[in-house]
Amino acid sequence: MRTRTPSIAVGGFAAVALLLTSCSATTTGGTSDGPDADGYVAQVDESVESTGGTLKLQLDYDTAETGGLDPAVAEIARSWSIEGLVYESLVTMGPNFEIQPELAESWEQVDDTTYVFTLRDGATFSNGREVTADDVVGSLERLQELGAVWSAQLGPIDSIDNTSEGDTDEVTISLAEPYTPLLAALANTPAAILPMQELEAGDFDPATEMLGSGPFTMAEHRQDESWTFEANPEWWNADSLGVDGVEIEIAGDDQTRLAALRDGSTHFANFANPDALSLLASTGDVTAVSQEQSDYFYVMLNSVNPDSPFVDDELRSQVNAALDRESIADIALAGAGSPTAVTPANLPGACAADSVPSYSAEVDATALEGQEFTLLIYSGDPSLSAVGQVVKQQLEQVGATVNLETLDYGTYSERVYATQPGDFEMALGWFAGYGDAAMVTSWWNPDTAFFNAGFTQSHDDLNVAIAETQRLPVGDERDAAFAEVCGLVDTYAEMIPLATRPTVIGYRSDQLQASILGGEGYGDFLRGVPEYRLTEG
């Protein structure tokens, strides 16, 4: 069995991990110990009365999409978070990844391929028009027709029909074959319901305007500077809103956001760097929480380019066995991430990271001795750099030499994804893990994923196993299929999952009551904002 390497240190990250062990949750500052029994790392105290007012947020970067503000073509989690303040989908994600009602107040799975959704009575768009079954049908058909990234996540939809009867608005989605992730796919912002009557009449342009049925309306957006949202009085749950509006300032520098939290000029800020947990822990009026994302880091070993040493199956296997996911999570991610297999560690049904073959495999003392590799990373993500350093040191402990090469994302993307075959030996990246463990497994089939065909081979047994995880209903048989996928991915060792990618959130607990899910599938750390309450402090 390979030797664990808990002593590896990367700059200040080891010290940060030690600091975290002494932190405890408080109501007036500090850090959260993790999700409570309800699945939250922070919850609004219902006994505290809101003073109304404007919630002030600082975020590290803005949304930037080729399709503008259109949720159907949104590809990044930041867009999903911000646009989700205005738009609603049929369903949403709750604690522990439970599917909860949104525009659909209920639904029924009639058989393996048929889902009937009953729409919420009284839901209206912010212009006052009632949301209808035709809006739902038109929005989801439009998403399919656009061929946008999220359209593939809806699975093999055969038809979407208005099946309303009498005063009950219903929509029926029929699948060509069973596809268990359907509800999870419908719970993300790209599946939002748009006012199709206004869109088709040319009175509404989703690329430049936002007209939804959600809790807020957009008043102003200055790209890479700010957003201003106002409470939507037409929202079906408007009486529960705890704030009168939301102001978002884009502040790319971590120190700027840290300073704003400390001086109280902002109520809430996000951080990609897990260092923020310890940096905020000593600020008495700020609470820092780590929201575990289903997103995760992975390392690619190029088995397709004939010039890559990793065309050798055994060499890939030895590198995989030498990687210590626990140390990566503890040191590079300051204990805020979790070791993971191909199924994101925090999702229901996920296989344990210590269940895959490489976890208990012995490293051949001579296999990596004298080997030299180049590991590509891209700039802009401090956690990615930290993970790269730990991977480098772990492989060097077993005799290999690893050269880190940091590129801008455009150059990195060109060499890793666009070039055929990929122009690299090793590369680090991260995936969005989504809300159902079967959704991300499809990225391991280059016949359908395409982006990885330049560095990953197609394996019939793995492709069949992936399809099974998407077809089988939730239960033991599906969990067994996940375990098979995890084992095969680990054995082929071409895209190797490492650890989940955390998001750190700091908020002024003397001014704000916040509800924040302990786990998130779509990077939407703003999901609970309608419940937030400002207090007098």
As a whole number of angstroms, the distance between CA 405 and CA 376 comes to 5
Instruction: Give the per-residue SS3 of 223-279.
Output: CCCEEEEEECCCCCCHHHCCCCEEEEEECCCHHHHHHHHHHCCCCEEEECCCHHHHH
Q: Taking each helix axis from N to C terminus, what angle separates 476-492 and 460-471, rounded to the nearest 10 degrees?
A: 150
| C-alpha pair distances (Å), 342 with each of 26, 143, 231, 493, 495 | 34, 27, 40, 11, 9
Tokens of 323: 């990687």
- From 288, 249, 294, select the one nearest 271 (Cα to Cα): 288
For residue 259, give the amino acid letter. Answer: A
Chain-centre distance for alpha carbon 437: 12
As a whole number of angstroms, the distance between CA 269 and CA 310 comes to 41
As a whole number of angstroms, the distance between CA 298 and CA 321 comes to 14
As a whole number of angstroms, the distance between CA 359 and CA 433 comes to 22
Question: Which of left, alpha, beta for 163 (phi over 0: left; psi -120 to 50: alpha)?
Answer: alpha
Instruction: Please tell me what DSSP assigns to residue 197.
Output: H
Tokens of 284: 């008495």
- Predicted confidence pLDDT, tens digits, the chain (537 residues): 343 333 333 333 232 332 232 233 333 456 666 788 889 999 998 888 888 999 999 999 999 998 999 999 999 999 999 999 999 999 999 999 999 999 999 999 999 999 999 999 999 999 999 999 999 999 999 999 999 889 999 999 999 999 999 889 999 999 999 999 999 999 999 999 999 999 999 999 999 999 999 999 999 999 999 999 999 999 999 999 999 999 999 999 999 999 999 999 999 999 988 888 888 887 789 999 999 999 999 999 999 999 999 999 999 999 999 999 999 999 999 888 999 999 999 999 999 999 999 999 999 979 999 999 999 999 988 889 999 999 999 999 999 999 999 999 999 999 999 999 999 999 999 998 999 999 999 999 999 999 999 999 999 999 999 999 999 999 999 999 999 999 999 999 999 999 999 899 999 999 999 999 999 999 999 999 999 999 965
pLDDT of residue 37: 80
- From 182, 153, 71, select the one nearest 449 (Cα to Cα): 153
| Kind plus residue range of the DSSP H or E element containing 497 | strand 495-508
Strand partners, 293: 520
Instruction: Please tell me what DSSP assigns to residue 130.
Output: B
Tokens of 319: 């590198």
As a whole number of angstroms, the distance between CA 193 and CA 291 comes to 27
pLDDT of residue 1: 34
As a whole number of angstroms, the distance between CA 332 and CA 275 comes to 10
As a whole number of angstroms, the distance between CA 337 and CA 530 comes to 27
As a whole number of angstroms, the distance between CA 477 and CA 173 comes to 25
The backbone torsions φ and ψ at residue 173, rounded to the nearest 5 degrees and listed phi first, read -105, 125
Contacts of 307 (CB under 8 A, 6+ apart): none
As a whole number of angstroms, the distance between CA 523 and CA 81 comes to 7
Answer for the pair 305, 422: CB distance below 8 angstroms, yes or no: yes
| C-alpha pair distances (Å), 296 with each of 47, 182, 484, 502 | 37, 22, 20, 8
* Angle (CA) 430 61 280, round 5°: 85
As a whole number of angstroms, the distance between CA 144 and CA 190 comes to 11
- Helix-strand-coil percent breakdown of the chain, rounded to 5? 30, 25, 45
Answer for the pair 88, 214: CB distance below 8 angstroms, yes or no: yes
As a whole number of angstroms, the distance between CA 228 and CA 368 comes to 55
* 220: helix, strand or coil: strand
As a whole number of angstroms, the distance between CA 404 and CA 113 comes to 48
Tokens of 523: 């990077």
Answer for the pair 534, 244: CB distance below 8 angstroms, yes or no: no
Answer for the pair 497, 474: CB distance below 8 angstroms, yes or no: no
Tokens of 198: 């206004």
Pairing of strands 54-59, 170-175: unpaired
| C-alpha pair distances (Å), 479 with each of 99, 189, 352, 483 | 19, 27, 11, 6
